[in-house]
Structure 1
């Protein structure tokens, strides 16, 4: 297999959808597993300098993915020691080709933070010449909700997260 596309491509649609795309040097079954199994997610999910301290997955429609990212890099200044909790609730699972879930900011108990934007995440995993093209469509309720997450550094965070996935996959 050749190496993965080195960069994430992105664009917005309708002022409230963020579409991300990247090709990874691994088959769809492995990439799908990396997005849905705690033992994989713990190895790569989160921006550089962050680690998953909590990760549970109940992979079924109506099931939950509950996780906590913690900044463990003192060089990240004010972010060092910070925790960010998330909760995904799955709507569709078509392994290894499609995954749909609603992603919320939450707390340690899984209580949804109503003050922060909700994301409808639609991911497709397509085999292309022995690799996997992942397309992630993140749909927000309003253009302001999309702007909020972009202002929070979401694009840099997901770019670093997917870089970590590209580094992790070859060893699997």
Structure 2
């Protein structure tokens, strides 16, 4: 039987420390009003964001590219530990409108004396190019997250 698992190098892990409390970082990940302000690369925007924050609950979003193209995506929450952990599937809609094969995202938040260490992991990419593209997009989004957290009462990110 062939092993269909993605190669280990098709895992994306990004760690950031935000000068903001864990509950605020968690809220930025789970409040649609906050997500629309940070969860896209520079030049993109989120025009729609909704979901049912519970294990088994679905989420859906639309990212709008600088040229106006709408990129729809969604998934299902698998695990939620308030203030500590989110696990959810992440799948882009294909050209036929059907979801492409999902990746799995895990976000772990740890308290560092009032700051928050966020470890982001996304796995199951179909290709190295997809993983690398997501790395750039998420990295820019996390820059925007740091800015938002500063506005919401945190201080900065590194």
TM over 0.5: yes
Task: Select the residue among 40, 45, 49 that pairs with 1:46.
Answer: 40
Q: Which residue of 2 aligns with 1:86?
A: 73
Contact 1:37-1:57 at 8 Å conserved across structures? no
Deviations 1:139-158 (A, max 9, x none): 116xxx1414135x222111
Cα distance in 1 for residues equivalent to 2:119 and 2:90: 16
* Runs (4+) off by over 6 Å: none
Which of residues 104, 111, 122 in structure 2 aligns to 1:120? 104
**Aligned pairs, number:** 144
Partner of 2:130: 149
Residues 44, 161 of structure 1: 8 Å contact kept: yes
TM-score with structure 1 setting the length? 0.77
Contact map agreement 2:11 2:131 (CA 8 A) in 1: no
Q: TM-score, normalised by structure 2?
A: 0.84
- Within a 5 Å distance, the mapping from 1:1-172 to structure 2 comes to 14-72=8-66, 80-106=67-93, 111-114=98-101, 118-140=102-124, 145-151=126-132, 153-172=133-152
Residues of 1 paired with 2:113 and 2:127: CA distance? 33
Please tell me whether the aligned partners of residues 17 and 146 of structure 1 are also in contact (alpha carbons under 8 angstroms): no
- Contact 1:24 1:132 survives alignment (8 Å): yes
Residue 16 of structure 1: how far off its partner (Å):
2.7
Alignment match, 2:156? none
